[in-house]
Structure 1
Amino acid sequence: MSEQSRSEPFPAGDASFRRVVEWAPTAMVMVDHEGRIVLVNAQAERLFGYARDELLGESVDRLVPSRLAGHHPAYRAGFFADPHPRPMGSGRDLFARRRDGSEFPVEIGLTPIEAGGSFMVLAAVVDITERKRQEERFRRVVEFAPSAMVMVDRSGRIVLVNAQTEQLFGYPRQALIGEAVEMLVPERLRGEHRQFRSGFFHAPLARPMGVGRDLFARRADGSEFPVEIGLNPIDTDEGTMVLASIVDITERRRVQQTLENALQEKTVLLNEVHHRVKNNLQVISSLLNLQATHASDPRLRNILAESQSRVRAMALTHQLLYERKDFSRIDLGEYLDRLTQLLLSSYREDSARIALRCVLPGEPQFLDLERAVPCGLIVNELVTNAFKHAFPAGRGGAVQIELTAVGAELDLAVSDDGVGLPEGFDLAGVTSLGLQLVPLLADQLRGRFTVASGEGARFALRFPLALPTRRSR
């Protein structure tokens, strides 16, 4: 070959065209009808490792791996028989060969160029080594994922599955690839599944599938099983696809059902326990009442009546738990309102001259059983004390129970407009069993108890709405 043919391989070429090719961001190689290289750019030199003079006039097969070179002339002849722009080797993996003999994966775009009454082909060559590496990494991640992974294209065809999918559904991989994904959906659900799939591709965002619905899948043997499915859109050269992560939740459902059954049994048991405790306390109250009617000593009758009132206050907590079917807590306001009615019935003879009112906050204030009982007993003792001592000699007046929420604390007060407390009254020095119980019960609530006297008496207890959790040692 002459020096002129090497330096001017494409004498009809346009200078502007040469500049465009030279400064293209991808490797560009122009080949004539006989397969000889007539033009390369700087990117081609860098990509293949050849100097330009080493390529011009040589066969393009030099850039093709030896194992593939035998097929290349036939592909080249096919292109020149029908020269139109298209990707090369559609559906095949393409490889190129560097000067040092190493191979690398490529994508090649072919464009026919008319020159001197004949066609040449301009090939744009892109090294896709990094892309292939990323694809392989993605495939490995999918393949070894702990859950079944199924990739589906826009038309609903399966393009990728992993080993967990084969194991979960009972299909070999080759039986799934290229098939409609609806083969993994129970027949009764396939129609709506197509609609949901279309909806996903209209707004492809990562999200769980079928929020609020029970999802089921179908195995190769036709059996159905409950699943959870996460959907992730994946951008590919073929367009957006969806990668579905599928988890069999059969065992989770079984455990959940077992827990629900156990919870139901526990609820029934607790309901029965509170019902029986309430009934037993009512029996005790009736026995105390019966004993009081047979006691001739007025002082003993009063003692028995006070004990009966305490038992009824405790029984009321179990009654509310039984009625509301919430065994962890009761509304303190509702409890105090019901306790007020019980106390009024106990002092029926005095209720004509002594009013008993209960003032409650607008919002429910919940307490557990362990602390509701001390609250009830405190109110019971203070109201009983007011009815007995605040209104002597037939005097009229009012007793008020008041519950107030103060931040994270509650104020519980019992006040009256009676004669007030004796001069020098000291709660620590009282001999009455009921008032002796009040400080002890207040300590159980971790509360602060105060007493005030003036026009009547006021006993107030402030305690935390929720006790701090105990730290394990």
Structure 2
Amino acid sequence: MTNHLGNIVLVNSQAEVTFGYNRNELIGCRIEMLIPERFRANHPSLRGAFFGHATSRPMGVGSDLFGLTKDGREFPVEIGLNPIETETGTIVISSIVDISERKRLEARLRVADEAVHQARKMESLGHLTGGIAHDFNNALTIIIGNLDIVRRSGEIKTQRIQLALQSATHGSANAAKLTKQLLGFSRQQKLDPERLSLNVLIKGMTGMLVLTLGTGISLELVLAEDVGTISTDASLLENALLNIAINARDAMPDGGRLKIVTSNSYLDASDAITEDALQRPFCCLVVTDTGSGMTKETREKAFEPFFTTKGIGKGTGLGLSQVYGFVNQSGGCVQLESEIGLGTTFRLHFPRLDSEVIPASF
């Protein structure tokens, strides 16, 4: 309870628990001591306005309200104001509710909703892309087949026709590669899974990664000894890691560091779309760079096919979409964290087969 001057006149035991003071430390003091400093200047005028027309109502409707504990911790609150008349004037009872847990739950729900929305969007894009890729592949089969017939016929009369045929064959091969990339995003490519260890695969790729990154970018490996085995297509996993490394290299034109970490993991509710995924163990491959980072808009589109921030002719925009499709087709998921100026982190989760471990020192 406080009077019209803002002095605290009564405190219950729950207020002592919530704010960390005993009642003797509070009674007689100004109510502003329980409010974060940035809100204190306006509080007296708000209090005066309330006492001028004192009615029972919630405080600060539509605003975020905060309390301040004795140890300086801020926490979100809801406050109800109830005036009562006494012989010495109007007293207001402030009912203060700590809503920290509710805010945490709301934040988790927002993250989960965004994850589901993103998954549905990518699923729709996958269906569309897969259909286009299959139709395109059928047309390419006819084109490549007829080109092969012409090449084998021996009826190529001039060097000009021969060069045109070679150019058409080369273009068809590139188009077939593009089709394969699209099928990778749509999770309709053919996998050749095998039991493997992330640690062993990464150590085998070290030389290739160093060459890919070039001078000025250091490579750091932190491979956990207890990482289990997974079942996936080794060549596609290598390709996914190279795609991420190339993007990292391009984001660090002045040099930097690429860190690769392996560990065992579990998914939380914001990442696992199915209940089964929440219960099962995963092996996690984490790739972090110290590059320029991404904006929120770029992060949201990073895995979409043909999206790229590179200049014309410098990328198809299919590298990360392949990573996304391959990992999901392997039964896992990809997480992306990035901020401008703070670098980028990819987390690739693959279902762990069992407790079998291949040491990082293998």
Q: Which has the higher contact order (CA 8 A, sep 6+)?
A: 2
Fold conserved between structures, TM > 0.5: no
TM-score (norm: length of structure 1): 0.29
The structure number with the bigger radius of gyration is: 1
